[in-house]
Structure 1
Amino acid sequence: MVNEIKKTEDNVISTLGDIKRAVADFTDMFADMRGNITDEMIKRGEEIKRSEESFKTLSEEIRKSLTSGIEAEKEKLVQLQGKLEQPPIAFYAHQLKDMILDTTDEILIFEKTFTNEGTGYDTSTGLFTAPVGGLYQFVVHTCPYKEKHAYLGLVLEGNVIAAHAYDADNTYGCNTFGAIVRVKSGAKIWVKSTASGSNYQLYQSVYRFNTFSGLLVNN
């Protein structure tokens, strides 16, 4: 019986040793697993952080791009609104103050206007001052006196941009010339005689009007 008890004690001790070794092995394995899991979590965390930073950078770039685009469209809308709110620019003047072309470079002054939208044409000076810059069309219609001459030019800021010459004829006639030209805001345009003399003269009546007109086509 003593031997059996001894044998049983040895088996118990051996089993406890096995259990202790197994627990130690499991503890070591768990520690390794925990280390691996911790490293993987740190790696994932860093990847997530980098992704968040990339997303923030991309979001900021998109925001700036959208903001810039919106501001550009707003500016276009403001400019378009300004154009829509801008009154039309046009004039149509007639009734010459002096029809004798005895002075070269003399400005032809049309004293009356049927139309003067934008008030650019001055009936006292014969000058049209562009209220806004843009593409304009100007037309000059004159009626020379029979058997007289008329040499005329359309002038923009001192430069002749269109001209017409009418030489003596024994009939009354009328002639038209003009130009389409881009004009800066504040620029002046007028009609003048490019040659002069006692035999240079225009004619007007209820049947024949001398006119000077202009229209803002596009700005």
Structure 2
Amino acid sequence: MGFSLLFSFVIVVGIYSYNFSEAREPVCSKFAYEEQLLEKMIRTEIKVETMVNEIKKTEDNVISTLGDIKQTVSDFTDMFADLRGNITDEMLKRNDEIDRRGESFKKLFEETRTNLMSDMEAKREELTQLQGKLERLPIAFHAHHVADLLLDTKDEIIIFTKSLINEGTGYDTSTGIFTAPVGGIYQFVVHTCAYIKKHAFIGLVLEGTVIAADSNYDGDYHTCSTVGAIVRVRSGEKVWVKSTSSASNRQLCQSSNIMNTFSGILVNN
């Protein structure tokens, strides 16, 4: 419709131009007038046809350009849709992977925690049983035979080198020291014999403190005496026997008929 209006406008303008020019030209004859009119109409038709062709060409270019733009927009829309679809699919895959790994990690963590708790419980039970065994284990020792009978050094530990019993392995025959395997109330007894006309000053020691002491002397024969104590000893504490006084006339006596002994027993824990 727009094209028809444009064409009509061009025709009217042409006719108007023709009439205007015709009015100024002198009229010679009817034949000359018709010839001039025909020539003018032909030129006008050519111009109109040229204008129509230009308009058509312009219209075709516009339609082509619009088509190209539409195709470009369509391609861009499709590309964007594909890109958005790819991004969405990739994001969904990533989310699924993250969820899967999270569940796997959570499962592994729970298994590790369960195993660790189980191991800790088993170790705790083991320790409880071991503690119970230690607490119920009879602790007792009885040692004899002193290697060095001379008491010429003060505070020297008297080592009883042979043991008849050593339940709990608390007594060490190489050092003469008893180490309490468990804490509790213990009874210790020290029996020593002094050589004839020799003195023996003996002390029972708990962690460096003398808890019982005795002295022995006889001018006519060997003499023996016993000293002991009941004391609470903590686990790991040490008990031993020592010489509390030193001199050249300090000496123990020992034979098949005379024995020096050191013993101890856990009474209650």
Q: Residue type of the partner of 1:125?
A: T
Equivalent residue, structure 1, for 2:142:
92
Deviations 1:115-166 (A, max 9, x none): 0000000000000000000000000000110100000100000000000012
Q: How does 1:129-168 map to 2 (within 5 A)?
A: 129-168=179-218
1:82 alignment partner, SS class: helix
Deviation of residue 85 (structure 1)? 6.9
Q: Residue type of the partner of 2:264?
A: G
Structure 2 CA distance for partners of 1:126 and 1:100, relative to 1, 3 Å: same
Equivalent residue, structure 2, for 1:181:
231
Q: How does 1:64-79 map to 2 (within 5 A)?
A: none
Equivalent residue, structure 2, for 1:207:
257
Deviations 1:161-201 (A, max 9, x none): 00001234221121100100000000000000000111000
4+ long deviations beyond 6 Å: none
Measure the CA separation in 2 of the matches of 1:214 and 1:175.
17
Deviation of residue 83 (structure 1)? 5.7
Deviation of residue 84 (structure 1)? 8.3
**Structure 2 residues not aligned, in runs of 5+:** 1-127
Measure the CA separation in 2 of the matches of 1:149 and 1:187.
30
User: Which has the larger helix fraction?
Assistant: 2
Q: How does 1:1-219 map to 2 (within 5 A)?
A: 82=132, 86-219=136-269
Deviations 1:26-85 (A, max 9, x none): xxxxxxxxxxxxxxxxxxxxxxxxxxxxxxxxxxxxxxxxxxxxxxxxxxxx79x91687
Higher relative contact order (CA 8 A, sep 6+): 1
Q: TM-score, normalised by structure 1?
A: 0.62
Report the identity percentage.
67
Cα pair 2:134 2:182 within 8 Å, conserved: no
**Structure 1 residues not aligned, in runs of 5+:** 1-77
RMSD: 2.1
Larger radius of gyration: 2
